[in-house]
């Protein structure tokens, strides 16, 4: 799979070069890439709230992988648990109403995964098992990021 991806990127690079060479306006600023992800229309405050939670996730993953690298299983479990249900704050009803069911389900399944990971770290103390679980949980972060983007009015003053 990997060599295929690499070669695909390589070919795209080549095509781009060819397109630029043929385009007399190639020195102009390229048009922004199109973002096809579904839009969550939030207020600036709601956006801040969601992005804060996201940065907590990234912070937790950093702490967790650091602890796992040191084989400090207790610290690993603590970091994982910090991303579990404990992290969930009841979203204000207005925000909840704007989040698609699929989005909310994916979000809560990630929190549940981290609680399970924390439990397993404590009982199994198996680094590679934990890494596999972490990878599966991160796949959900990836899926959600592939599907959704946030737009708040402050980002689109014209609308």
d(CA 157, CA 159): 6
Q: For residue 20, give both structure tokens.
A: 């630029």
CB of 7 to ligand HEC, least distance (A): 28
In which region does residue 14 sit, left (phi positive, over 0), alpha (psi from -120 to 50) or beta (all else)? Answer: alpha
CB of 147 to ligand HEC, least distance (A): 8
149 binds ligand HEC (CB under 6 A): yes
In which region does residue 9 sit, left (phi positive, over 0), alpha (psi from -120 to 50) or beta (all else)? Answer: alpha
CB of 122 to ligand HEC, least distance (A): 20
By CB under 6 A, what part of segment 69-128 binds ligand HEC?
Answer: 103, 106-107, 110
150 binds ligand HEC (CB under 6 A): yes
Three-state SS at 38: strand
For residue 98, the surrounding DSSP H or E stretch is helix 93-98
| Beta carbon nearer to ligand HEC, 21 or 142 | 142
Among 27, 28, 34, 55, contact with ligand HEC (rule: CB under 6 A): 55
Binding site residues, ligand HEC, CB under 6 A: 51, 54-55, 57-58, 61, 103, 106-107, 110, 140-141, 144-145, 148-150
């Amino acid at each position: 799979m990997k060599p295929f991806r690499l070669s695909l990127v390589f070919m795209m690079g080549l095509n781009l070069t060819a397109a630029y060479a043929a385009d007399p306006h190639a020195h102009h600023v390229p048009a922004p890439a199109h973002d096809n992800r579904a839009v969550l229309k939030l207020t600036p405050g709601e956006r801040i709230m969601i992005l804060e939670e996201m940065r907590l996730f990234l912070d937790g993953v950093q702490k967790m992988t650091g602890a796992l690298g040191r084989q400090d299983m207790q610290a690993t479990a603590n970091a994982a648990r910090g991303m579990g249900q404990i992290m969930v704050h009841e979203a204000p009803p207005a925000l909840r109403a704007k989040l698609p069911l699929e989005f909310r389900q994916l979000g809560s399944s990630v929190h549940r995964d981290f609680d399970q990971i924390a439990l397993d770290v404590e009982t199994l103390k198996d680094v590679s098992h934990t890494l596999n679980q972490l990878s599966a949980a991160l796949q959900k972060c990836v899926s959600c990021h592939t599907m959704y983007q946030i737009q708040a009015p402050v980002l689109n003053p014209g609308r």
